[in-house]
Structure formats: C-alpha cells, structure tokens
A and B are shown apart, each in its own frame.
Chain A
Amino acid sequence: MNLRRDVFQAIADPTRRAILLLVASQAMTAGAIAANFNTARPTVSKHLQILTECELLGHEQNGREIYYHINASKMKEVADFIEPFRKMWDDRFNELEMIMKKLKPKN
C-alpha cells in the first residue's frame, strides 16, 4: 500500500488535529497524550507515528521518557499552501464589503 505521508494527510484526521493542539502548548509523553483520548493506546501510537513521519511532530528522549513536541515550521507549510488562495478571497470580500458600505446610505 502506498500511503501518502504529508502534512495534509496528517491533518485530515480529527484525532491527529487534537493531538497537535495538545502538544502545541507543551511537549508531552505518549502516555500523557493518550490519557486525553478515549481511543485505545495503540491507536494513539499509530497517530503519533503518522504525525512523526509527516514531520509535524518531533520527539526527544528525556531519561526513560520520550517527549513529543510540535514542529512549527512544518505546520506553516499547510498555511502556506492555503494562504494565497485564502488571501485572494479575503481581498475580494474586503472589496465587496467596501462597495456595499458605500451603497448603504443611498438605500
């Protein structure tokens, strides 16, 4: 099976998005992350593995524990992909709002 391992696949899953939100505030062990979900521990491990393969998560050994942390630069890739498209619509809508506001007093 040829699985795609990129950031877009990573963030397609709601549990993985929740994991990213969790570790965004502080580095956490797999156990501490899993404690936040009702899903089985191996499922969380699988998500951590995918997030690591997509380079959205990094990890460090600290004594006997492995701490997962977010890889901010990789997260930016997602935003960069959508940003020009979002910006185009934002500009258009700003224009729309301006035009309609000018129109308002006449009505």
Chain B
Amino acid sequence: MEQKTKVHAEDGKQDLTITREFDLPVELLFKAHTEPELIVQWKAIPNTTAKILKFAGMKHGSYQMQSTDSQGKIVSSVHGVIHEFIPNRKIIRTFEVENAPIGVQLEIYDFEPLTDTTSKLNMHVIYESTAIRDQVMKMPGASGYTMGMAHDRMQEIMNKLK
C-alpha cells in the first residue's frame, strides 16, 4: 500500500524530507499550521495540553509553545523564529526544543495545491549534524514528542512504585 506520509533520509546527510498529501485545500493545510488554536490540537504531545505562548506568523516573526501534563507540569518547551512567511505557499523557520541535546533545526515548509480540494506538504528539515539527525529519527519526536513520551513512561513507572 502506498504510504501517505513519506520520509526520505539519505545516509550520511544532515537533512531529511517529509512529504504528505492531504485531502484538504491548500488554504486549510496552511491554516492548520498557522492558527494557534488549531496548531495546539494536532501538534500536542500525547497526553499533554499544548499552549501557544507566542505566535507571530510573519516574516521576522517567532513562536513559542509549551506542553503541560495533567498536573500542570511543563514537559516540553519549543520555540523558533520565522524567516519567511508566504500565505498558502511557504514557511521557513527554526525549531528548537529547550533543554534537549538536539540543537536547532531549520525547517522549510512548502505548501503545494494539487487540486481545489487536495494539497501536498513538502517539509525539508536540516539538522546541525548527521549524528543529530539520526538521533532524532531513532527517537521519534525528539523534536517535541520524545520528552513527553519519556515523561509519560516515567510517570507510569512511578505510579507503579507508589
């Protein structure tokens, strides 16, 4: 079966591409990436509540997002600056997870209309090194997910110890 989301990562390189076709017009796909109340719904780490502290969707803009667990403890803070912002076409931004050893990544989002009702997202992500890229891929979501999942696992373990 053809996979909807494709990841292409060549050995020895420090970047990767993620592509996905959506059954959505490009305007809605772009909107899902740029409206804080929508971003938090699909980008939240499982079992956490995401909150956008800042989102300035524009050239020279920036963003800041935080995830908290059910006790209100912060499990992940991410932020970055927006380098390019062309509605329904392109976003270039940096992404950094605070207190995570994965450095800063450069993300290029290319929004492509396919038909009036379908679209395609091409993401190009460049890491500081090949080693960091491989590390991120081996721990799915070091870019925000891992910490949350690690905390969930820790919580589960600790609950059993109670």
Interface residues of A (CB under 8 A from B): 4, 6, 8-9, 11-12, 81-82, 84-90, 92-97, 99-101, 103-104
Chain A binding surface SS class: helix
Kindly list chain A residues whose C-beta atoms are within 8 Å of the C-beta of B12: 8-9, 12
Q: A85-B140, A95-B42, A100-B28 are in contact. List 10 more A-B contacts (CB 8 A).
A: A6-B11, A12-B12, A85-B138, A85-B141, A86-B5, A88-B141, A90-B3, A92-B42, A96-B29, A101-B23
Let me know if B7 is at the binding interface, CB within 8 A: yes
Kindly list chain B residues whose C-beta atoms are within 8 Å of the C-beta of A85: 7, 136-138, 140-141
Q: List the 8 closest pairs (A to B, CB-CB), nearest first.
A: A8-B11, A90-B5, A95-B42, A96-B42, A88-B140, A12-B11, A84-B140, A86-B7
Let me know if B6 is at the binding interface, CB within 8 A: yes
Interface string of B8-24 (1 = CB under 8 A from A): 01111100001010111
Q: How many A-B Cβ pairs are below 8 Å?
A: 77
Let me know if B145 is at the binding interface, CB within 8 A: yes
Kindly list chain A residues whose C-beta atoms are within 8 Å of the C-beta of B151: none
Interface string of B28-43 (1 = CB under 8 A from A): 1101100000100111
Kindly list chain B residues whose C-beta atoms are within 8 Å of the C-beta of A94: 4
Kindly list chain B residues whose C-beta atoms are within 8 Å of the C-beta of A88: 140-141, 145
Kindly list chain A residues whose C-beta atoms are within 8 Å of the C-beta of B3: 86, 90
